[in-house]
Amino acid sequence: MAQFVIGIDLGTTNCALAYIEAGEEALADPFHLPEVKVMPVPQLVNPGEVRDEGLLPSFLYLAGPRDFPEGSLALPWDPEGNPLVGALAQKRGVENAGRLVASAKSWLSYPGVDRSAPILPWRAPDGVAKISPLEASRRYLDHLRRAWDWKHPEAPFAAQQVLVTVPASFDAVARELTLGAAEAAGFQNITLLEEPQAAFYAWIERHPDWRERVKVGDLILVVDVGGGTTDFTLIAVTEREGELALERVAVGEHILLGGDNMDLALARSIEQELAAKGTRIDPVQFHTLWHNCRVAKEHLLEPGTRKREQPVTILGRGTGLVGGTIRAGLRREEVDRILIDGFFPKVSSHDLPQRARRAGLLEISLPYASDAGITRHMARFLRQQAAASEHGMVRRAASGLACPTHVLFNGGVFRAPALRQRIVEVLNTWLEEEGMGAVAPLAGENLMEAVARGSAYYGMARLGRGVRIRGGVPRSYYVGIETAMPAVPGVPNPLKALTVAPFGMEEGTQARIPGQEFGLVVGEPAEFRFYSSSVRKDDQPGTIIEDLGEELQELSPIEVALPAGADSSEVVPVSFETVVTETGMLQLWCVARDGRRWKLEFNVRERVEA
């Protein structure tokens, strides 16, 4: 049995690691849950200086031969220390952005590039050896694993239960790449968990009296704005066997919009101010300015700070600049204006995101959301996506708008109280128009640690020692089986449907399909057809439907060539196992008699396109 449960927030801007004791002695008292702790992460903060920091900045610096004195990048577990990860990487990258890898998590989710290819730093100058988004992610996770092993030699990381968080809107490929990065970093016993759910688990862990703070029928909106993405999730408070229960009822689409966009907007503002004074900067200098604005913004928004302005400097290029350095300042009022009005505008719940008209030719880069108004994306989620959910516990107004009773914030962006206040203000305007009561913020969690803490808590919930958010699949799911009949010219053999996931099957659970074996085609391209039904709610795993009538709707087929044991194709007798993951993927495992296994996977989360 693992001695600890470890939760890791693999963030766009920062990573965090939390843990909780899970050994037999720690679990001996059924009425006491051990405390979730956050592990300070040892990292280089200056050349030759290793220090524990609460977070590991998600930055990687590809040092050149003259960047640092020899031996000054050594870590307790790594005498070389290159590539450089963490606080010093972020600091040096501000001075030389061409060698800084940032936003690797956003690139990991982008299907428009080869995420395993060395493409980062994006637009790096000639001579800089690049790495892939996958490798950058592996480096961050590897640093966390080695830091744990250095601090806890008696409890090797590989022997612990580990949970790594991903955005709720990550697609199947991005999730698989995250798992691949973790496995390559030496992780074992890995489970993926959605970040908004982890944030809510952190709130539960910090508030043991949560049942007194919410009631049956309440609807909780989790607004998660991180460094690279914006996610929306709805969690309903229900009743099960006389006790309060929680169920995730809606998840938004993938929105590449977050702190990176905000830093860019601040950099554009300073660029315009400099241009008005006759100072123009080139693309390389602007990239440095972008990263400088991130640091300046974080200083200005630090809780409790009284700073009204933060200096921003850019190294000059050429002889036309006095002193060789460009100096500017980022003012707090500008930060508030650009962030609040630009990214959180006051809009109607009918104001949905607009698609900007694009040029015919585009530069290849991350597909950032064309509309920067997060409140407009929130309106779309509550009016179209969440309102289209088939869950009866979604609290709706007469117009169809999903109406939350509570809101929980997550992501470093919301460390600024003004941004949280604006979200509440906008939500309450919508609710008042619908004749609904005001929304109540759920407060009391450290936004920078919440996801890591919540994922560690969830690991305990999986062991039966905490509250679990339920999220059963909203339909029954089936796989098509070709009937064994003599061939008829021009007429394909009919299909019947085998139930592989019953209605309401809980996420994070698995089921073995009882009954007969079926023949699986491997070694050559084959088409797998899947069906769903929202009305057949009593079909159990293994139930066969002979007549594919109107009660079953066909999903997009999957065409794939499953690998064979030899070079030739074959039909292998297999039985089935079904897994519904914590991130909403249905995995159908085909298991041969000799132990070989093949996986078919698709998303069982509802998605609504505009």
Residues 564-598 as b/e (b if ≥16 CB within 10 A, e otherwise) read beeeeeeebebbbbbbbbbbbbbbbbbbbeeebeb
For residue 31 the two structure tokens come to 């009425």
| Each residue's pLDDT tens digit, 147-160 | 999 999 999 999 99
Strands 469-470 and 243-251: parallel
Thinking of the domain 259-343, which architecture would CATH place it in? Alpha-Beta Complex (3.90)
Q: 197 CB contacts (<8 Å, ≥6 apart)?
A: 168, 222, 233, 235, 248, 454, 458, 469, 582
**Is pLDDT at 52 greater than 90 in this prediction?**
yes
**Is pLDDT at 584 greater than 70 in this prediction?**
yes
For residue 306 the two structure tokens come to 């009284």
Please spell the DSSP secondary structure of 396-448, one letter per residue: B-TTS-B--SEEEEESGGGGSHHHHHHHHHHHHHHHHHTT-PPPEEE----TT
| SS3 state of residue 192 | strand
Mean pLDDT across the stretch 360-369? 62
Give which of 385, 392, 384 is closest to 247, Cα–Cα.
392
Give the pLDDT band (50/70/90) at residue 302: confident
What's the pLDDT at 610? Answer: 28
| Each residue's pLDDT tens digit, 227-248 | 888 999 999 998 887 778 888 8
| Each residue's pLDDT tens digit, 5-16 | 999 999 999 999
Strand partners, 585: 603
| Greater pLDDT, 342 or 515 | 342
Domain ranges of the chain: 4-192, 259-343, 476-603
Cα angle 445, 60, 42 (rounded to 5 degrees) comes to 55
Length of the chain: 610
Note whether 4-192 and 259-343 share their fold.
no
**Is pLDDT at 485 greater than 80 in this prediction?**
no
- Between the alpha carbon of residue 421 and those of residues 383, 428, 445, the distances in Å are 21, 11, 16
Give the pLDDT band (50/70/90) at residue 464: confident
Specify which of 175-189, 251-265, 349-363, 569-583 reaches the highest per-range mean pLDDT.
175-189
- Between the alpha carbon of residue 104 and those of residues 9, 84, 165, 294, the distances in Å are 14, 14, 15, 16
| Greater pLDDT, 48 or 493 | 48
Give the pLDDT band (50/70/90) at residue 491: low
Give which of 307, 256, 318, 247 is closest to 281, Cα–Cα.
318
As a whole number of angstroms, the distance between CA 99 and CA 538 comes to: 57
| Greater pLDDT, 151 or 65 | 151
**Is pLDDT at 608 greater than 50 in this prediction?**
no
**Is pLDDT at 30 greater than 70 in this prediction?**
no
What is the average pLDDT value for the chain, to the nearest integer? 87
Specify which of 2-11, 107-116, 361-370, 511-520 reaches the highest per-range mean pLDDT.
2-11
Q: Give the chain's radius of gyration (CA, Å).
A: 26
| Each residue's pLDDT tens digit, 93-110 | 888 888 999 999 999 988
**Is pLDDT at 513 greater than 70 in this prediction?**
yes
Mean pLDDT across the stretch 477-504? 80
Fold for 4-192, please state it. Answer: Nucleotidyltransferase; domain 5 (3.30.420)
| Each residue's pLDDT tens digit, 333-351 | 888 889 999 999 999 999 9
Give the pLDDT band (50/70/90) at residue 321: very low
**Is pLDDT at 609 greater than 50 in this prediction?**
no
What's the pLDDT at 220? Answer: 96
Mean pLDDT across the stretch 116-137? 91
| Greater pLDDT, 508 or 339 | 339
Give the pLDDT band (50/70/90) at residue 318: low
Give the pLDDT band (50/70/90) at residue 181: very high
